[in-house]
Structure 1
């Protein structure tokens, strides 16, 4: 089977590709690399010219006054010139409703061409989308990435890129994909909830993780506990980072000399991984029901991860013991959970072992690739 994966977030499509290749399928990825994370692609549409120093100042000025980003146009044009290479694939899968990350009109044109010159089209729900966002705007889940906005409307500018999914241009894009795709696949419970009962919803296929590339190291806590916090300025509020920052200040004061804190900000993927390899505990996000890709990779390495691990997640996987710490937007709660781990390091070791076993069992990249093949063939 020939498979085209369009777009990349958090290395999901790269891990899926590795699983599919092991099953003897031909796989091609086209993406921008997701900005500073710089994930691998077979064909890159990264906006290289717009980022050059001489042009970037002009680009920033245009964006400030007109909210138009020339980098988005460059990505679209690079994709356009690659279209002849993206023909006759059995399956095309989009990482979300705007996988090229260009302006909506050009994105719509490009995806119409992709649909016309290939066979089956599928959509992943693993980030912001029109369906996901309209569900969250109704305040149906108890917690979501919109919770900070609901509590403080002055954060509107920080959510502007999310609310773009409710504009007329994007809705036209959503409508085209929805009507022309064979189905929508959710990558975790945060995306299952908005899709339940939808006629296009195929079901949940957990994120694929190539754990064979992620070496497990049994945590040694004799010389102290290392806590890692990764910060991406673009989703600072959506992940609830401020709760982690406040909790860490209290933890450092409570356990001087016993705790080391590592903070990475807007760090390329490979450097980010090297930094958190030293940690025992990783702080991910407070508004999720399930783990995203960053948390899963850390769990595969045996880190104790503060992330989404609500009862819906535990019940689905029939878990009776913790494989991660369910994080909520409550500083006192976070301090309590961190303090317990620091004072009981044997629990760090126990959760570490269970986390790795969970990833190998439920997120194995080859088993997950088989589930994708089954879903694509069935629809």
Structure 2
């Protein structure tokens, strides 16, 4: 049965399949609770509310006997760091340059789970990312790889480029040998992080993580971190991209749904700053980027604009000082101060007195001089 299951999974585009027991070791739950107690999850409050279910599959579904963990490759054909020296372009995480992985992975999972339910007359439930499931700990338990020092799964065959999905089942399946840590003394992923988001190996503080700040975080981004974000406008691949195990990953193994769309590989900030809601939805149809909405995305683009040094962006930035969204206006003020301190005072005289948002007024009060200086992280 297991061999047939793995063959079915391979036919659906999964490059890695493993079986884990229907429970996790207590240490996994203890690490999760410590991480939550330290506030490292930031605003992701849903991780707190269902922490017990996340810590053990049996609490989420008491009937589970085995967990089938599956991995789908999105290994890139190009260097994810290639745009680091092109500040006029926006950097979009590799995973978001193709189709939304939630849809692709979940569809394939449902077909594999449906096959298993029919073939073995067992109960099944499928999960991709949004459910209270510790995919990484379960993937390690199932032998797909190990949780690296960047906290993501590392595979000997596919490097750091695996999307994970889980099938909980009532079937009693023979577990695979768990993965073992092969990071050794390497700390490349720790050292590359622009915002120093790793307080320790194997532990990420979301409050400093560029992926969290540009995707999950809804309010103004901390001023101390804005200059460090560079031209990252959605997610960050830096810690994944430098993993030495990526040398074994092949772009040929990546699912075709994740091939990058040309317009998302190296978009110009000047084009992205002009997006209204309709244009944003059209551009990112079928992309996970659509989930964060136009306002949060343009906020990110304005941070990149402020870091670019490109004064040709000033007309777009100044136009966005009138944007209906508080977050966009606030980020436009910051970008203006970075690009043209000389024009900051003029624009402040025109717009600040009429501003009714405390957050946006705080950006005007912070001033152009503050935008060009380092601010403490708090």
Using structure 2 for the length normalisation, give the TM-score: 0.25
Q: Which has the larger radius of gyration?
A: 2
Structure ranking higher on relative contact order (CA contacts 8 Å, 6+ apart): 2
Using structure 1 for the length normalisation, give the TM-score: 0.25
Greater strand percent: which structure? Answer: 1
